[in-house]
């Protein structure tokens, strides 16, 4: 029996610097309405610019000025940044309970040990320390990527060797969660992409404001799909340039290099665990309508506010635009009759399909494991003995379908807008996941 499960607040949790941007970005109704606001090809407003301070506070041993040190110079930005503390542990989902099929789909990988709905940016260090994925399994330091600007600065100073240490040996060195340095380094008047692996992955598009605007790169440097290089252990993106940021191109990249994150515990299929491809979903390939118009992540997530003294500033409380009534009234509603209803309809459809397809993938996986149990056992035994036994043609074909179905499904499920960033891509990708699962189930009889 198919059951639909509501993710609730998933769309506005830890991806707040990017995800809710897509609640506007991807919708087909987002084509600009030139007769309402007189704008057919541009966003409604520009962001206020922070004022330069006379003296930069002292940096820590990693070269990072902490958010607390900027409170006096940028009180409004700091106050709104601290509002992210409210996005903590209360009311968060356990995805292994919300989607029981994940216990089968992720079997043999750390995500099967624990997969909770993530918390806000200011909780980034605590959550990576406390997840069962690092508590129950030894990990490398590359798992600290994007959890603290101090680690970003360390990687930039030391290179790939910083990725190769042990997580538990390094994590307690850091005490600053995601904060100002991640997007500004130590100059709040400038935007800076600190994660150089993402800069490299953008290729020639890094300086193309139409294809990859800087105000979205700063969010996309963490809200992206990545893998750990098998040799250097470096955090790496599976593409060069935005044209290659599509699900098909990313899967082809992994196939060409024969990459897998793990072998499934029950079937031994070589599997990929997708991360959080918000940037790719918005800017990959042809990009979305709103991205082409010129809206960036900060335009939708970081509304302009006016203090009591009349100072206009950019809010650093990263929330969904659906929670910003001023933005809805003065920007979104110029083109959308009822954006909240549009988003709700998209997310309901996505949720129903994500749930039903996960159950097909679970069924497919269990049937592969059962039908080919003897062959899989022999493959496992050969691997445990330090050797390798190739699968039969039939099992190899089923492995490929299991890998593809789960990759395409995961690409949608872990992208945190529940389809609203880019509905067309979302449902096209789910179609591919379901087609692969159906083909495998047909082969299995």
Q: What digits encode the pLDDT tens for the residues 38-64? A: 333 444 457 888 888 889 999 999 999
How much of the chain exceeds pLDDT 70, in percent? 90
pLDDT digits (tens, 9 = 90+) for 337-360: 999 999 999 999 999 999 999 999
Ramachandran class of 52: left when φ > 0, alpha when ψ lies in -120 to 50, beta otherwise: beta
Confidence of residue 1 (pLDDT cuts 50, 70, 90): very low
pLDDT at 27 over 80: no
Please tell me the predicted confidence (pLDDT) of residue 358: 98
The residue with tokens 């988003």 is: 343
Q: How many CA atoms within 13 Å lie on the side-chain side of 238? A: 28
Assess whether pLDDT exceeds 80 at residue 9: no
Query: What pLDDT score was predicted for residue 5?
Result: 42
How many angstroms separate the CA atoms of 197 and 215, rounded? 17
pLDDT attached to residue 106 = 98
- What φ, ψ does residue 314 adopt, rounded to 5°? -90, 125
Give yes or no for residue 6 having a pLDDT over 90: no
Mean pLDDT, the chain, integer: 90
CB 267 within 8 A of CB 397: no
> Parallel, antiparallel, or unpaired: how do β-strands 227-228 and 235-236 relate?
antiparallel
- Give the DSSP H/E element, type plus range, for residue 262: strand 262-263
Digit-coded pLDDT (tens) for 274-298: 999 999 999 999 999 999 999 999 9
Residue with token string 């991806």:
15
Q: Are 312 and 305 in contact (CB under 8 A)?
A: yes
Closest CA to 110 of 278, 253, 275: 275
Q: Can you tell me the distance from the alpha carbon of 213 to that of 134, in angstroms, rounded to the nearest whole number?
A: 34
* pLDDT (0 to 100) of residue 369: 98
Residue pLDDT, tens place only, 240-274: 999 999 999 999 999 999 999 999 999 999 999 99
Instruction: Give how far Cα 31 sits from Cα of 186, 279, 288, 351, 438, Å.
Output: 37, 20, 10, 25, 35
Q: Kind and range of the H or E element at 168?
A: helix 167-170
Name the percent of the chain lying above pLDDT 90: 83
Which residue reads 């006016």 in tokens?
306
C-alpha distances (whole Å) from 350 to each of 344, 364, 412 are 10, 21, 9
Tell me which DSSP letter residue 387 carries. Answer: -
Do residues 225 and 238 make contact, with C-beta atoms less than 8 angstroms apart? yes
Per-residue confidence (pLDDT) for residue 189, from 0 to 100:
93
- Per-residue pLDDT at 12 exceeds 50: no
The predicted pLDDT at position 50 comes to 83
DSSP states of 316-363: -----GGG-HHHHHHTGGGT-S-HHHHHHHHHHHHHHHHHHHHHHHHH
Average pLDDT over residues 225-243: 98
User: Residue 7's pLDDT is what?
Assistant: 55
Name the more confident of 29 and 253: 253
The per-residue pLDDT for 28 is: 33
Are 271 and 399 a contacting pair, CB within 8 Å? no
Write out pLDDT tens, residues 106-164.
Answer: 999 999 999 998 789 999 999 999 999 999 999 999 999 999 999 999 999 999 999 99
């Amino acid at each position: 029996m198919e059951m639909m499960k509501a993710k609730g607040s998933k769309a506005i949790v830890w991806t707040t610097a990017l995800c809710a941007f897509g609640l506007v970005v991807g919708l087909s109704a987002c084509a600009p309405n030139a007769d309402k606001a007189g704008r057919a090809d541009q966003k409604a407003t520009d962001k206020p610019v922070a004022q330069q301070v006379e003296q930069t506070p002292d940096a820590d041993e990693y070269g990072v000025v902490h958010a607390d040190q900027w409170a006096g110079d940028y009180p409004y930005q700091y106050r709104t940044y601290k509002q992210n503390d409210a996005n903590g542990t209360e009311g968060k989902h356990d995805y292994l309970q919300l989607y029981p099929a994940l216990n089968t789909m992720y079997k043999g990988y750390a995500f099967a040990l624990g997969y909770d709905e993530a918390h806000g940016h200011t909780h980034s260090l605590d959550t990576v320390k406390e997840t069962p994925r690092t508590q129950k399994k030894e990990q490398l330091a590359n798992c600290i990527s994007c959890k603290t600007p101090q680690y970003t600065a360390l990687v930039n100073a030391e290179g790939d060797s910083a990725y190769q240490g042990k997580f538990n040996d390094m994590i307690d060195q850091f005490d600053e969660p995601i904060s100002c340095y991640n997007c500004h380094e130590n100059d709040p008047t400038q935007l800076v992409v600190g994660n150089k692996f993402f800069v490299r992955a953008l290729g020639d598009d890094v300086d193309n404001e139409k294809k990859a605007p800087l105000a979205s790169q700063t969010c996309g440097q963490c809200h992206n799909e990545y893998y750990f290089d098998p040799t250097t252990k470096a955090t790496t993106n599976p593409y060069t340039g935005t044209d290659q940021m599509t699900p098909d191109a990313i899967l082809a990249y992994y196939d060409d290099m024969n990459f897998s994150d793990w072998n499934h515990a029950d079937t031994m299929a070589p599997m990929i665990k997708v991360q959080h491809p918000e940037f790719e979903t918005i800017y990959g390939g042809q990009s979305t309508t709103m991205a082409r118009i010129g809206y960036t992540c900060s335009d939708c997530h970081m509304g302009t506010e006016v203090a009591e003294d009349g100072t206009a500033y950019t809010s650093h409380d990263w929330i969904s635009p659906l929670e910003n009534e001023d933005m809805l009234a003065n920007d979104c509603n110029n083109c959308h009759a009822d954006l909240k209803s549009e988003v709700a309809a998209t997310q309901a459809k996505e949720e129903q399909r994500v749930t039903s397809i996960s159950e097909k993938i679970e069924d497919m996986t269990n049937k592969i494991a059962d039908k080919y149990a003897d062959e899989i056992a022999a493959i496992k035994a050969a691997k445990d003995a330090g050797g390798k036994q190739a699968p039969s043609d039939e099992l190899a074909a089923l492995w490929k379908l299991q890998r593809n179905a789960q990759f395409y499904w995961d690409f949608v499920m872990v992208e945190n807008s529940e389809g609203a960033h880019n509905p067309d891509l979302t449902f096209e990708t789910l179609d591919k996941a379901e087609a692969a699962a159906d083909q495998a189930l047909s082969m299995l009889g």
